[in-house]
């Protein structure tokens, strides 16, 4: 097993923020110079919906920039990145940076400012650090294990909402997905329309999750995102006093493709009890319970 002191964790965060902010500048200037164009359809993701199958040059550029920056400082650390995921082995005990260079590529290509970079760090397969940076709205969410959760350095807390009738819910709308996935999505929308206070679909999973941590929304769920969409946000919500579960109601599993986050345990359980799910192939077979 690896050991990481509180001081080392602070140092990791300090080091990480340099390339994360540089990536924020890369993303902002790509949007303002309108170089945010789609270069490829990830055909293997087609059935999952349009938002899962878009790719731009900037996704690749930002991931390379982040990995190069971190590898230079931490040569013995490992990396799982969305755009280089095919190279990766199963998550082990070594410090591992789990990276989504651009979460919300669909928003990015439409010049919508809800676009973020998400970076989580696991040590001994536990999340110890998470950063979600949304450069165009000037919000940087962060958390360290047992160190609390922050937005731009100010402490954040979940709203504490308990009742669905008071909850602002967030879910992704499966535009362009398989018929089966759209039908499941429609059933979930229906329950929320009948029972919640509000429903929003901002797009990037890492930001959606962070907003529950920040008390800017009360519940979010998905069964079709990846470890790089969830790693940082899960720690942010936990450190902000929220509830993080697997979609079955069990312990959160980073490799299951599913997550439920909520402002209270009661609301999280209600979400687990109503959502219909489409089984999705896991990121890796071995479960990882990182919280
Ligand atoms: C996407 C977003 C979206 C989710 C898609 C993801 P990406 O991530 O997180 O919320 O519904 O499944 O693919 O591709 O923009 O990093
Ligand atoms: Ca991405």
Tens of pLDDT, residues 34-54: 889 888 778 888 899 999 989
User: Low-confidence residues of the chain, pLDDT below 50?
Assistant: none
**Closest by alpha carbon to 103, among 150, 184, 172?**
172
CA of 229 to the centre of ligand 2 (A): 8
CA of 69 to the centre of ligand 1 (A): 24
Residue nearest to atom 11 of ligand 1 (CA): 172
Sheet-wide strand order for 198-200:
198-200, 168-170, 219-222, 259-262, 243-245
The backbone torsions φ and ψ at residue 189, rounded to the nearest 5 degrees and listed phi first, read -60, -45
Ligand nearest to the CA of 53: 1
Residue nearest to atom 13 of ligand 1 (CA): 52
Ligand nearest to the CA of 115: 1
Just list the catalytic residues: 82, 100, 102-103, 105, 229
Residue nearest to atom 2 of ligand 1 (CA): 204
User: Which pLDDT belongs to residue 224?
Assistant: 95
**CA–CA separation, 218 and 201 (whole Å):** 13
User: Which pLDDT belongs to residue 88?
Assistant: 64
52 lines ligand 1 (CB under 6 A): yes
Helix (H, G, I), strand (E, B) or coil at 120: strand
DSSP run (H or E) holding 150: strand 148-151
Residue with token string 């690896």: 2
CA of 209 to the centre of ligand 1 (A): 12
**Closest by alpha carbon to 165, among 189, 190, 198?**
198
Q: Which of 206, 229, 258, when mutated, tests ligand 1's pocket best, judged by the most ligand atoms within 8 Å of its CB?
A: 229
Other C-beta atoms lying within 10 Å of the C-beta of residue 205: 27
Asked if 199 contacts 169 with a C-beta cutoff of 8 angstroms, the reply is yes
User: Which pLDDT belongs to residue 97?
Assistant: 97
**CA–CA separation, 211 and 202 (whole Å):** 10
CA of 205 to the centre of ligand 1 (A): 6
pLDDT tens for each residue of 158-182: 999 999 999 999 999 999 999 999 9
81 lines ligand 1 (CB under 6 A): no
User: Which pLDDT belongs to residue 86?
Assistant: 58
Residue nearest to atom 8 of ligand 1 (CA): 103
What would the two tokens of residue 228 be? 């790089």
Q: Closest ligand 1 atom to the C-alpha of 49?
A: 12
State the DSSP string of 198-222.
Answer: EEE----HHHHHHHHHTTS-SEEEE
**Model pTM?**
0.97
What number of helices (H) and strands (E) belong to the chain? 7, 14
User: Which pLDDT belongs to residue 87?
Assistant: 58
CA of 246 to the centre of ligand 1 (A): 18
């Amino acid at each position: 097993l690896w050991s990481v002191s509180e001081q080392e964790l602070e140092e990791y965060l300090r080091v990480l923020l340099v390339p994360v902010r540089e990536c924020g500048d890369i993303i902002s200037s790509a949007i303002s110079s309108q170089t945010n164009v789609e270069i490829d359809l990830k055909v293997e993701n087609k059935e999952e919906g349009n938002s899962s199958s878009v790719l731009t040059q900037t996704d690749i550029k930002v991931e390379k920039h982040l990995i190069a920056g971190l590898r230079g400082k931490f040569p013995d650390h490992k990396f799982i990145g969305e755009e280089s995921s095919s190279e990766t082995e199963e998550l082990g005990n070594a410090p591992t940076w789990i990276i989504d260079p651009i979460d919300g590529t669909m928003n990015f290509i439409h010049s919508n400012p809800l676009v973020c970079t998400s970076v989580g760090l696991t040590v001994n397969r536990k999340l110890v650090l998470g950063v979600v940076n949304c450069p165009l709205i000037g919000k940087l969410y962060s958390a360290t294990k047992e160190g609390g959760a922050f937005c731009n350095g100010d402490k954040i807390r979940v709203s504490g909402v308990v009742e669905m009738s008071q909850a602002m819910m967030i879910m992704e709308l499966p535009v362009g997905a398989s018929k089966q996935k759209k039908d499941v999505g429609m059933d979930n929308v229906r329950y929320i329309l009948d029972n919640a206070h509000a429903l929003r679909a901002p797009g990037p999973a890492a930001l959606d999750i962070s907003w529950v941590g920040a008390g800017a929304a009360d519940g979010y769920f998905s069964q079709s995102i990846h470890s790089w969409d969830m790693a940082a946000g899960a720690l942010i919500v936990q450190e902000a006093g929220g509830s993080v579960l697997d979609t079955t109601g069990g312990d959160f599993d980073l490799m299951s493709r599913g997550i439920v986050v909520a402002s209270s345990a009661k609301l999280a359980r209600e979400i687990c009890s109503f959502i219909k799910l489409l089984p999705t192939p896991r990121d890796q077979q071995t479960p990882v319970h990182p919280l």
